[in-house]
Amino acid sequence: MRFPEDVPVLTDGSITLRAHTTADVEPAYEACQDPQMQQWTTIPVPYLREHAVSYLTEVIPAGWRNDGSFAWAIEYDGRYAGTIDLRDTQGGQGEIGFAVAPWARGHGVMTRAVKLVVRHAFDVLGWNRVVWRAYVGNWGSRRVAWKAGFRHLVTVAGGGLQRGVRRDEWVASIGRDEELEPQGHWWDVPVVEGDNLRLRALRPDDADRVVEACTDERTQHWLAGMPSPYGRQEAEAFIEGRLENSASGEGVSWAITEPGSDLLLGNVSVFDLRNRIDATMGEVGYWLHPQARGRGVMTEAVRLAARHAFTPIEQGGLGRRRLVLYAAIGNKASAYVAEANGFTLTGTARAASPRRDGSFDDLLCFDLLSTDSRGESGPRSTE
Ligand SMILES: CC(C)(COP(=O)(O)OP(=O)(O)OC[C@H]1O[C@@H](n2cnc3c(N)ncnc32)[C@H](O)[C@@H]1OP(=O)(O)O)[C@@H](O)C(=O)NCCC(=O)NCCS
């Protein structure tokens, strides 16, 4: 192919993909000063003007001429906004890479660009599959890939190489006959306002409170699956894991907070939302910071979480038909929370709740149907 004559112009009316020009060098150089660009891509650091010059005027044209890689400049709002490329890895398959300047982020630019380029890969280049790769934690990129229909996501430990250092990598792909639309749910974690409480997404700065709550003796006793000892690393992994849960469609977790202080009082989750046998059910789980116990906090938090869980998906909820909740037989406070919210005790599973000492407790099994009365006026004290 000849550069730039043979570079196809792709547009959806909102963005245009075209051949790079020397006028793009300066904005590309500026965009590459962005810390996120440096954190999530393989560009040289520090990024010098000469890097932009050689990439745009030598590397990119050579890619087109050799039919090995195809990079387009993204034009948005009349300006150079970023670069997207396809790299042929042979055998009817290739990889996509992209980056957008900070000023153009969050407007759907990259999702549109990815869709245009993936269609080009299938319809013009004749590829059968396009592969997306990103370092673990690059949620913006993962969201773009999800919105454009990439699927079969896996994590490859040490799969990425960045400036000589191995990093864990997410890999997903899309095949030529697959829809360029999201597969599965990426649940929102909305703020839910109650009379006395506010549920919100967990944040990295909740870590200290999470450690306090999860090192507590009673939390450790009743939640035998919780890591022990439980330190900051475990708390940070837990918080990052909540993002993974909502992104994968597995569950939604909230920090329970008081409207005034915003201090984390505990956690409430609705999970198992991808249950293979019944995709309309969810399980409720929770724990509370010791300082927040005994005053009805979890009863209200579960009420708010259940309300959101039963709200139809079209209205921003989880569209659940049935919730289940399990409490080990001696855990009276937990059983109380279930009953105060109108859950029905359906039975006792024998020796079903593992303890840290190797023994097993019986497990009380509760459920709540969307058609049940929710016990909204139940008593408020738990202990
Ligand atoms: C990743 C990147 C390309 C996204 O570009 P963009 O034009 O902002 O993408 P879009 O606007 O099409 O979509 C971004 C989506 O990610 C979401 N998002 C961004 N950061 C997020 C985060 N930390 N967690 C969850 N979602 C996030 C946005 O809200 C948006 O979703 P929405 O439209 O449903 O609200 C851009 O941030 C970027 O260039 N980053 C640095 C370079 C990079 O990471 N490249 C990819 C390497 S694999």
Nearest CA to ligand 1 atom 29: 106
Burial class of 212 by CB neighbour count within 10 A (0 to 12, 13 to 18, 19+): middle
Query: Is 184 inside any structural domain?
Result: no
Shortest-distance atom of ligand 1 to CA 144: 13
- Last residue of a domain, which of 110, 142, 175? 175
φ/ψ of residue 32, rounded to 5: -80, 0
Query: Is 376 inside any structural domain?
Result: no
Report the sign of the C-alpha dihedral through residues 38, 42, 44, 50, in that order.
negative
Q: Which residues contact 141 (CB under 8 A, 6 or more apart)?
A: 40, 98, 132, 134
CATH number at residue 333: 3.40.630.30
141 close to ligand 1 (CB < 6 Angstrom): yes
285 and 334 share one domain: yes
Structural domain including 213 reads 192-369
247 and 273 share one domain: yes
* Domains in the chain, number: 2
291 and 363 share one domain: yes
275 and 316 share one domain: yes
Query: Is 278 inside any structural domain?
Result: yes
23 and 167 share one domain: yes
Shortest-distance atom of ligand 1 to CA 109: 7
Indicate left, alpha or beta for 108 from its phi (over 0: left) and psi (-120 to 50: alpha).
left
Query: Is 160 inside any structural domain?
Result: yes
209 and 103 share one domain: no
Tens-digit pLDDT profile for the chain (383 aa)?
Answer: 999 999 999 999 999 999 999 999 999 999 999 999 999 999 999 999 999 999 999 999 999 999 899 999 999 999 999 999 999 999 999 999 999 999 999 999 999 999 999 999 999 999 999 999 999 999 999 999 999 999 999 999 999 999 999 999 999 999 999 999 999 999 999 999 999 999 999 999 999 999 999 999 989 988 989 999 999 999 999 999 999 999 999 999 999 999 888 999 999 999 999 999 999 999 999 999 999 999 999 999 999 999 999 999 999 999 999 999 999 999 999 999 999 999 999 999 999 999 999 999 999 999 999 999 875 544 333 33
Query: Is 225 inside any structural domain?
Result: yes
Query: Is 5 inside any structural domain?
Result: no
Query: Is 348 inside any structural domain?
Result: yes
| Range 220-224 contact pairs with CB under 8 angstroms and sequence separation of 24 or more | 220/356, 221/356, 222/328, 222/331, 222/334, 223/287, 224/353, 224/354, 224/355, 224/356
259 and 353 share one domain: yes
What is the distance between the alpha carbons of residues 327 and 344, in angstroms, rounded to a whole number?
12
| Neighbour tally for 155: CB within 10 Å | 11
